[in-house]
Structure 1
Amino acid sequence: MTRPNDPEAGVSTRRMTVAQALMMFLANQWTVDGDVRERTIAGTFGIFGHGNVAGVGQALLQLHTEQPGLMPYHQARNEQAMVHQAVGYARMRRRRATFAATASVGPGAANMLTGAAMATANRLPVLLLPSDTFATRVADPVLQQLEHPHDPGMQVTDAFRPVSRFFDRVQRPEQLFSIALAAMRVLTDPAETGAVTIALPEDVQAEALDVPVEFLQPREWHVRRPVPEPGELARALEVIRAAERPFIVAGGGVLYSGAEDALRSVVQATGIPVGATQAGVGSLPWDHAQYAGAVGATGTTAANALAAEADVVIGIGTRYSDFTTASRSAFQRAGVRFVNMNVASFDAYKHGSQLPVVSDARRGIEALEAGLTGWHVTADYARRIAVEKSEWDAVVDRALAPTGGELLGQPEIIGAVHSVSDPTDVLVQAAGSLPGDLHKLWRVRDPLGYHVEYAFSTMGYEIAGGLGVRRADPDRDVLVLVGDGSYLMLHTELVTAVAEGLKIIVVLIQNHGYASIGHLSETVGSERFGTKYRAQDPETLDFVDERFVPVDLAANARSYGVDVIEVHPGPDAVRDLRAAVRRAKQSVTTTLIHVDADPLRYGPDGGGWWDVPVAAASTLTSTREARADYERLRTAQRPLLG
C-alpha cells in the first residue's frame, strides 16, 4: 500500500516489512560500467530455517507472487555452496553482478563463513544476509543462539566481521536505508569489493515500517575507472623506458576491468613479456608471442626465468600473493624496481614499491602505451623471450601427451580434456594439485576460459562455482576438474544442477587421497602422513596402504540423478576420456566423468618455490633432510623493496 506522508514535500511511502523492503530495494539496483548496464543482484540463493523463513523467505514469496522474475530465487543444498555460486557468477560477470545469499540463525549463517572469506580474499562481490537472534531479546536465549556471559550481544554473525569487506546489523527497522545503501557502495566499488554482510535479526526482518518509495526506485551504481595520477605515471614511464629486462605480471584486475585488448596492444607495441597469476590467466592467449605463461611458485620455466632477470617488474591488477612472488624468491636481480598498477592503493603499495600507480587496469595500460610510443625492448631480449617460450611449449607438449600407462597421470588427463575442449569452454578449479598443473599446462584461448579460485584455494568450490559460471554464461560449456578430496568436501550441488537443468561437465579424478598435500607432505619430511584414503588398522592405528576404502564416487554422483561415465584404467584410458568429454559436451544435462589417476605422476617443474616452514628439530630422518633443503632454498628470498 502506498500512502502520502508529507503532501507538501511530495513524499509517499509503502507499508512493508524490513525484509520486503530490502528485497524490493535489491531488485532495483543496477551496475553501469561504460556501455554495460546490468542487475547488480541477479537473484537470491536461500536455505530457510527459523530466522529467515518468516522474514526474507516470506518477502521472496511475495515478490515472486506479485512480480515474477523481479528477484529470482534459487535453492541450494549447502549454505557455503550458495556463496560459491555467487562468486563464480561474479567473476564471470567481471564483478559487475552477483547474487545475494540468505541463511537461517546459527549453523546456517555460520556455514557461509568460508564463502565470505573466499570472496573477500578474491576481491569478488557477494551479498550475504545471515539471520540473527532477536534484537529485542524477548525470547532469550533462543534455539541456536550463542551465549557469552561477558558479552550477551555477541552472536554467530559477529564472526563475519573479519572476513567481510563490509559488515552491519539492522537492529532497528529505520537503519535499513543507510545500511543497504552503504552495502551497495562496497559491492560496486572495484577497490573495496568482497563479501558484504548485512546481519538481520529474525524479529526485525518481520517488523513493518513506512518505506519511502524513492528508496525502492531503480538506482544506478557507476563503476569507477580511475586514470593514473600524472606524477605517478611519469615516474613509472621513466623507469620502464630505462629498463633492459622489463617484465609484466598480469593479475585478475586485467580481466575484471576488461583490459585484455589493451594489454595485447601494449605488449605487441613494446615487446614486453607477460607472466600471469592464477587470476590473470586469460589476459593473453597461450600462443601470443609475449606470453611466457604462469609466473611464480606454480609458474613456467619461461616466465620464472624472465622474472628472475627482470630489472623492472610491472604488476598490473595483482595482489602479489606468495604464489605469485614464489614466496619472494621469483625476482632475483639486484636493484629490481616494481611498478605496481592497481585500482586499490593497498595493493599498489605492496612490497614497499616506490612506484605505485593507483589506477584502473585498462585506463592505466592505455596510459602506459601512450607514454611508451616508439619504445621497444632490445633485439637480444626479444630473442631471449622467444627461446624461453619455445622451450616451455615443447615441455608442455610432452607433458600433455598420452603415455599408454595403466593409470593416467594428471598432466595426461589435462591434455585429454583440453584436446577435445572448445576455445570458449570455461575450466573451473580451486584446490589440490590441479591448480599447480593447470596454471602451467592449460592453454587458455579465451579471456574468461580459465576460472581457478586460488586466493583462498577453497576445497569444495569447484562444482558450486561451476554452477555460478553456467548461470553467468549459459552459452559456454563449463568443465569442472576436481579431485576426490575436494569432491568429498562439497558435492551436493550436483542436485541443484539436476533440479534446475544447469549443465556442467565434471571430471572427477580419483586419487584415493589428498594428492597435493601428499606431495607437499613428502617435501617437508612428513611422509604423506594422514593424506591417503585407506582403511585404518585397529591395532596400530595406521592407515594401511594396501587397504583402499571401498567408496564408489561414481555411484554417489549417479544417485543424485547425474549422468555418469566411468573411464577405466588401461592403455586406452586417454582415448576413452576424450570420448567421454565429447559425449558430455553433446549432452544437454550434467555429466560426471570418473577417471582413476596415479597421484605420484607429477607435472613438469617450472622452477618456482613456495615457502612452507619445515620442523626445525625432529627425530625423523626425513624431516631433518627436508629441513636442510628448506634452509638452502630460502636463501633465495628477497625483501622485494622496489
Structure 2
Amino acid sequence: MTRLTVAQALVRFLAAQHTERDGVRQRLITATWGIFGHGNVAGIGQALVEYADLMPYHQGRNEQAMVHAAVGHARQHRRLSAQAVTTSIGPGATNLVTGAALATINHLPVLLLPGDTFAGRPADPVLQQLQLPYAGDVSVNDCLRPVSRYFDRITRPEALVPAALAAVRVLTDPAETGAVTLALPQDVQAEAYDWPEEFFAERVWRVRRPAPDEDELTAAAGAVARAARPLIVAGGGVRHSAAEEALSDLAARTGIPVASTQAGKGALPHTHPQDVGGIGHTGTAVADHLARTADVVIGVGTRWTDFTTASGTLFGHPDVRFVNLNITAFDSHKMAALPLVADAREGLEQLHALLEQHHVPAHYVHEYAEEKHRWDARVAAAYAAPDDTARPTQAQFLGALDTLVTADDILINAAGSLPGDLHKLWRARCADQYHVEYGYSCMGYEIPAAVGVALAAPGRPVWALVGDGTYLMNPTEIVTAVQEELPIKLVILDNHGYASIGGLSEAVGAERFGTDYRFRDRSAGAAGAFTGPPLPVDLAANAASLGMRVLRPRTVRDLREALADAREATVPTCVYVETETGDSVSGPPPAQAWWDVPVAATSTRPSAIKAREEYDRHVTARRRHP
C-alpha cells in the first residue's frame, strides 16, 4: 500500500496509462494543462509539483482555450494520446463547457479535472458555490454532464479507483470517446488514503479495430456492386482510424469517386484521380453533382450533418440507397442505411476484397474527371491575383498560401467564412494537413488548437487562420505559444466584422444587422445602427503586445513575401491582412448546395419577404430517407 493524497494518486495513475493500436504503443495522457485557484491549487496543483518528473505541465491563460489545445493535440495523434485539463471550481470550471462540447461532438478525447465544492461541507456556502434550494449535491460542474461522455464526482478517496478506470476506458474507446469529466472536491483532492500498488501499475489499453459482421458486409458489397453511380463520402472516421490508404486502394481499384466532409477532407490528396473535393453546402460543384445523381452513397466515418446533406436536399436520385461504415451503431443506421458497424480501415479493406473485380463504368469515370478538371480551373481563377499591387481578397490569400505550403504544413480553422472557402478550394496534400473543426465550428478554437498541434507535431509549420471576429474571441494562448517557444504562424484576415454571418444575414432578410465592427450612425438618433466608420482597432498591435512577431503586408506581392517569411520563422509570427471583398471574378464560387436557416414567416420589410420566398422554394426539395 502507498499513502498518497487523492490528487497525487490520480497523477501517478494517469502517468502509467498507455494506448496501443497496430502494435504501436504511446502514452495516453501526455501532459496536463492547468489554471489554478483555491479549488485545485492545493490538490492537483501540489500533485503536479510532487510528480513533475512523471506528468508534464502546460500553463494556459483561458480554461476554454486549454481544452481546445488538448483537443487539437488529440486530433493530431489520431485520438491515441490525449491531455488533461485542471481548473478551479467556479468560473474556471464553467469555462470548460464550450471546449467539452466541442470535444464530445467531434469524438475527440480530453480529460477534464475541475475542482469542486467541499464534499464534507465544513461551511455552506463556500466561495463560488452554487446554492439550489431543492438540491444540496449540485455544483456548477453539473453543467458538464450533458457535454461529457463520462462524468463522475469523487466524493470519497476510494471512489477514485473505479472512476479513474472508467474514465480511461471511455477516453480510449473509439466509439465512445469525447470529453471525460472527473469533478474533484477540493477537500477530497488533499485527503490521504492507502492505495493498492496495482493501481499505479503500467496499464495498456488496446484500441480495438472491430471487423464488420459478415452478413452486413455481404449486403453492403452487393449494393455497391449493383450501383451505376456510386459515391463514397469520407468523414472524420477515416482519419481517426488511419484508413486513408485503405480508402485510396478501394477508390483506385473500383473507380468510385470520393467526396469529403469537413472532418474527412484530406483523406485522399487532391491529386488522387478519385478525389472530387468537399461535399454539401460548402462543397465543390463536381461532388455535389455526383451526390445529386448517385444511386448508392457509401458514408465512411461520417455523422451526416446538415452541411453534408445540404439540409436533406442533396441526394436527389429517386432510388438512392446509403451504406454507412461507422464504428458507432448510432451513426451507421442514419439515412435508413445498410449499416456496416466496424472500424473504418477494417471495413474498407474487407469491402475492397469483395469488390476486387468490380469497376464503375468508364463513362462515369470520364464524367467526373472532366468535371473535376473544370472545377480546378475555377479554383485557379479564384486564387489568381491579376494585380499584385492590390489589396488581396480572402481567396487570393489562400492562393498565395497554396503556392507556398508542402505536405509538412498543417492548416487550422474553425469558424467564419474560411471553412467554406477552404472546403471548396483548398488542395490538401496529406491526410493531416486540413484541420478544420466544424462539428462545433467554435470561434476561438484556432490559436489554442495550433498550440496543441505544434506540441504534437514539432518541427512542422502550423498555421492558425482566423478572421478578426474569431481573433477577438480568444487570442490569449498567443502568450502560451510565446512561453513554450512554439513558432506557430497566425494569419489574421481582417474584414472589420463578422463577414460570414453578415452575408448569411443579408440572405435571410436580416440586413447584416449587428455583424459589422463599426461606430453607430448617430445621425439616426441614439438607436442608430452600426453603419458608421470601422472601429480603430489594431489587431496586429494587440498580437505584438502579447509577444508575437508581426508582419503587415498591404498588397498581394507583400503577402507572398510575408507568408514565406512566416513559414521559415522560428518564433511565433503573425501575418495581419486587411482583405478586399471578393467579386465574381476573384472571389470563391458561391455555395453549390442549399443550407436550411429558417426565415421570418411574416415581415413588413422587403428584404425579409424576398428571402422567405427563396426559402420556401428551396425547402420543398427537402427529402427524408426513411
1:582 correspondence with 2:570: no
- Match for residue 531 of structure 2? 545
Q: Distance in 1 between matches of 2:121 and 2:582?
A: 57
- Match for residue 26 of structure 1? 14
Q: Distance in 2 between matches of 1:444 and 1:600?
A: 23
Q: Distance in 2 between matches of 1:410 and 1:586?
A: 22
Q: Offset of 1:606 from its aligned partner?
A: 4.4
- Match for residue 551 of structure 2? 565
Q: Distance in 1 between matches of 2:269 and 2:275?
A: 7
Q: Offset of 1:600 from its aligned partner?
A: 5.5
Q: Distance in 1 between matches of 2:429 and 2:113?
A: 37
- Match for residue 202 of structure 2? 218
2:603 to 609, 612, 618: 618
Q: Distance in 1 between matches of 2:397 and 2:429?
A: 18
1:399 correspondence with 2:382: yes
Contact 1:532 1:543 in 2 (8 A): no
Q: Distance in 2 between matches of 1:264 and 1:22?
A: 42
- Match for residue 598 of structure 1? 580
Q: Offset of 1:544 from its aligned partner?
A: 4.1
Q: Distance in 1 between matches of 2:475 and 2:143?
A: 25
Q: Distance in 2 between matches of 1:173 and 1:304?
A: 55
Q: Distance in 1 between matches of 2:581 and 2:182?
A: 43
Task: For residue 509 of structure 1, give the secondary structure of its aligned residue in structure 2.
Answer: strand
1:59 to 30, 36, 47: 47
Unaligned 5+ residue runs, structure 1?
1-12
1:415 correspondence with 2:383: no
- Match for residue 40 of structure 1? 28
Q: Offset of 1:422 from its aligned partner?
A: 1.9
- Match for residue 385 of structure 1? 368
- Match for residue 556 of structure 1? 542
Letter in 2 for 1:454: Y
Task: For residue 536 of structure 1, give the secondary structure of its aligned residue in structure 2.
Answer: coil
Q: Distance in 1 between matches of 2:69 and 2:9?
A: 24
- Match for residue 634 of structure 1? 619
Q: Distance in 1 between matches of 2:386 and 2:82?
A: 43
Task: For residue 357 of structure 1, give the secondary structure of its aligned residue in structure 2.
Answer: strand
Letter in 2 for 1:181: L
Q: Distance in 2 between matches of 1:593 and 1:632?
A: 42
Task: For residue 15 of structure 1, give the secondary structure of its aligned residue in structure 2.
Answer: strand
Unaligned 5+ residue runs, structure 2?
none
Q: Could you give the per-residue CA deviations for residues 87-111 of structure 1, whole angstroms, max 9, x where no partner exists?
A: 0000000000110000001100001
Q: Distance in 1 between matches of 2:473 and 2:109?
A: 23
Q: Offset of 1:364 from its aligned partner?
A: 0.3
Contact 2:391 2:556 in 1 (8 A): no
Q: Distance in 2 between matches of 1:544 and 1:141?
A: 44
Task: For residue 614 of structure 1, give the secondary structure of its aligned residue in structure 2.
Answer: coil
- Match for residue 474 of structure 1? 458
Contact 1:296 1:325 in 2 (8 A): yes
- Match for residue 362 of structure 1? 345
Letter in 1 for 2:38: H
Q: Could you give the per-residue CA deviations for residues 462-513 of structure 1, whole angstroms, max 9, x where no partner exists?
A: 0001111101101210011100000000001000000110110011000100
Letter in 2 for 1:542: G
Q: Could you give the per-residue CA deviations for residues 216-275 of structure 1, whole angstroms, max 9, x where no partner exists?
A: 011000001001000000111111110000000000110111110111101110000000
Contact 2:292 2:317 in 1 (8 A): yes
Contact 1:480 1:504 in 2 (8 A): yes
Task: For residue 199 of structure 1, give the secondary structure of its aligned residue in structure 2.
Answer: strand
Task: For residue 435 of structure 1, give the secondary structure of its aligned residue in structure 2.
Answer: helix
2:234 to 250, 253, 270: 250
Q: Mapping of 1:311-460 within 5 angstroms?
A: 311-353=295-337, 355-404=338-387, 406-460=390-444
Letter in 2 for 1:369: H
Q: Offset of 1:547 from its aligned partner?
A: 1.5
Distance 1:545 1:407, change over 3 A: farther
1:259 correspondence with 2:243: yes
2:137 to 145, 153, 172: 153
Q: Could you give the per-residue CA deviations for residues 291-318 of structure 1, whole angstroms, max 9, x where no partner exists?
A: 1100011000000000110000000011
Q: Distance in 1 between matches of 2:270 and 2:219?
A: 31
Contact 1:534 1:543 in 2 (8 A): no
After superposing on structure 2, the runs of 4+ consecutive aligned residues of structure 1 that deviate more than 6 Å are: none
Q: Which region of structure 1 is more displaced relative to structure 2, 632-641 or 129-138?
A: 632-641
1:115 to 75, 90, 99: 99
Contact 1:126 1:196 in 2 (8 A): yes
TM-score of the superposition, structure 1-length normalised? Answer: 0.95
Letter in 1 for 2:27: R
1:186 correspondence with 2:170: yes
Letter in 2 for 1:206: A
Task: For residue 162 of structure 1, give the secondary structure of its aligned residue in structure 2.
Answer: coil
Contact 2:505 2:511 in 1 (8 A): yes
TM-score of the superposition, structure 2-length normalised? Answer: 0.98
Task: For residue 464 of structure 1, give the secondary structure of its aligned residue in structure 2.
Answer: helix
Q: Could you give the per-residue CA deviations for residues 174-199 of structure 1, whole angstroms, max 9, x where no partner exists?
A: 10000000000000000000000110
Q: Distance in 1 between matches of 2:318 and 2:391?
A: 45
Q: Offset of 1:379 from its aligned partner?
A: 1.1
Q: Percent identity of the aligned residues?
A: 55
Contact 1:515 1:599 in 2 (8 A): no
Q: Could you give the per-residue CA deviations for residues 527-571 of structure 1, whole angstroms, max 9, x where no partner exists?
A: 100000001245332344341111100100111111000012xxx
- Match for residue 9 of structure 1? none
- Match for residue 127 of structure 2? 143
Letter in 2 for 1:103: T
Contact 1:124 1:195 in 2 (8 A): yes
Contact 1:161 1:167 in 2 (8 A): yes
Q: Distance in 1 between matches of 2:486 and 2:581?
A: 31
Distance 1:80 1:543, change over 3 A: same
Q: Distance in 2 between matches of 1:333 and 1:537?
A: 51
- Match for residue 63 of structure 2? 79
Q: Mapping of 1:5-20 within 5 angstroms?
A: 13-20=1-8
- Match for residue 154 of structure 2? 170
Task: For residue 32 of structure 1, give the secondary structure of its aligned residue in structure 2.
Answer: strand
1:208 to 167, 171, 192: 192
Contact 1:304 1:606 in 2 (8 A): no
- Match for residue 505 of structure 2? 521
Q: Distance in 2 between matches of 1:159 and 1:560?
A: 32
1:293 correspondence with 2:281: no
Contact 2:7 2:44 in 1 (8 A): yes
Letter in 1 for 2:118: F
Q: Distance in 1 between matches of 2:140 and 2:532?
A: 43
Distance 1:146 1:48, change over 3 A: same
Letter in 2 for 1:619: T
2:292 to 302, 308, 316: 308
Aligned length: 620
Task: For residue 309 of structure 2, give the secondary structure of its aligned residue in structure 1.
Answer: coil
Q: Distance in 2 between matches of 1:135 and 1:521?
A: 48
RMSD over aligned CA atoms reads 1.0
